[in-house]
């Protein structure tokens, strides 16, 4: 038989754990304080540790999911998307943009009221992705108050949303030193 590979200290840990387990089985009253300590530790972890699914980081890219009102045609939706791209390109942090209207966007039945746009920022941006998202969201909402949906989120969240069935059409990419 081949020798079993053991990590340093594993034998000592096995010995201590075995002794503690035997003592706990001989005196089950000790289980209550141990269980209480574990519950307190779990409560502290739930209350004080961050629980976001994704870490808080600046991807430098974000999407703006929006929808035009029901009944809006492809031509009008395209014009809204082009106008939003122009607004985004006026921001010094954004270098280029593109637009896709009425394509699948991961959905088997494309709707003309959903639009996908991608923008890339210039390399010398000074604002964080959250600041740029907030500024552009305000500008988009002021220019198009009748949009039924207008949000901003980073690409990873958008992709997870697409996997779950919600689509996020406008993508803005910001590349900088950070």
- Same domain for 18 and 90, yes or no, is no
Facing residues of 67 across strands? 114, 149
Work out the burial of residue 146: count CB atoms within 10 Å of its CB; fewer than 13 is exposed, 13-18 middle, 19 or more buried: exposed
- Same domain for 35 and 74, yes or no, is no
Q: Can you tell me the distance from the alpha carbon of 66 to that of 137, in angstroms, rounded to the nearest whole number?
A: 10
Residue 161 included in any domain = yes
Q: What is the DSSP letter of 102?
A: S
CATH of the domain at 106: 3.30.70.1430
Each of the 178 residues of the chain gets a pLDDT tens digit; together they read: 777 878 889 999 999 999 988 988 898 888 888 889 999 999 998 888 776 666 667 777 777 778 888 888 888 888 998 999 899 889 888 877 777 676 544 555 556 666 656 566 656 667 777 888 899 899 999 999 998 888 877 766 666 666 665 554 555 566 666 5
- Same domain for 76 and 122, yes or no, is yes
Give the up-direction half-sphere exposure of residue 72: CA atoms within 13 A in the CB hemisphere: 22
- Same domain for 36 and 65, yes or no, is no
Q: Can you tell me the distance from the alpha carbon of 120 to that of 173, in angstroms, rounded to the nearest whole number?
A: 4
Residue 55 included in any domain = no
Domain that holds residue 15: 10-48
- Same domain for 155 and 70, yes or no, is yes
Q: What is the DSSP letter of 30?
A: G
Residues 6+ away with beta carbon under 8 Å from 50 = 56
Per the structure, how many domains does the chain have?
A: 2
pTM: 0.57
Which runs of E-coded beta strand occur in 36-159? 61-64, 66-67, 94-101, 115-121, 149-150, 153-154
- Same domain for 99 and 28, yes or no, is no
- Same domain for 77 and 114, yes or no, is yes
- Same domain for 79 and 151, yes or no, is yes
């Amino acid at each position: 038989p081949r020798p079993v590979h053991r990590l340093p200290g594993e034998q000592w840990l096995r010995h201590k754990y075995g002794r503690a387990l035997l003592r706990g089985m001989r005196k089950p009253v000790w289980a209550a304080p141990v269980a209480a300590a574990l519950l307190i530790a779990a409560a502290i972890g739930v209350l004080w540790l961050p629980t976001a699914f994704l870490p808080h980081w600046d991807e430098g890219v974000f999407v703006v999911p929006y929808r035009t009102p029901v009944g809006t045609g492809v031509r009008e939706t395209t014009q809204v998307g082009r106008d939003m791209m122009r607004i985004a390109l006026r921001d010094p942090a954004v270098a280029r943009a593109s637009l896709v209207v009425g394509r699948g966007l991961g959905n088997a039945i494309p709707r003309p009221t959903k639009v996908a746009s991608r923008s890339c920022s210039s390399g010398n941006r000074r604002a964080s992705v959250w600041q740029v998202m907030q500024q552009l969201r305000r500008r988009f909402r002021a220019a198009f108050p009748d949009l039924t949906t207008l949000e901003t989120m980073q690409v990873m969240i958008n992709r997870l949303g697409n996997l779950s069935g919600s689509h996020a059409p406008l993508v803005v990419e910001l590349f900088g030193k950070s």
